[in-house]
Amino acid sequence: MIIGKIKNNEKRIKFNLEIKCSNCKTEVPGGMQTSEQYYGSESFLKEIEKFKKNYLCGKCRDKKRIKQKNKKRN
């Protein structure tokens, strides 16, 4: 998963983030990438925080998708 935007000519930093699904609390190994310049910056940290708060594992994401579909149908 990529945090921020990485331009083609920018160096990438790979890092691991401990992520928990915000719904079922399952721990998910997060192999993340960001640009060297962005890594550790204030907006980077904010984005990580937001990402963690909103993260859903695959299962929960599917459930949400199905729910939204049903909503439209009704």
Residue 3 dihedral angles phi and psi, to the nearest 5°: -105, 130
Q: Which residues contact 6 (CB under 8 A, 6 or more apart)?
A: 12, 33, 34, 35, 38
The two structure tokens encoding residue 72: 């439209």
Minimum distance from residue 55 beta carbon to Zn ion (Å): 9
Q: Which stretch binds Zn ion (CB under 5 A): 14-22, 34-42, 44-52, 65-73?
A: 14-22
Which one of 21, 33, 47, 52 is in contact with Zn ion (CB under 5 A)? 21
The two structure tokens encoding residue 33: 């990438």
Q: Is 19 in the site for Zn ion (CB under 5 A)?
A: no
Given the rule CB under 5 A, which residues bind Zn ion? Answer: 21, 23-24, 26, 57, 60
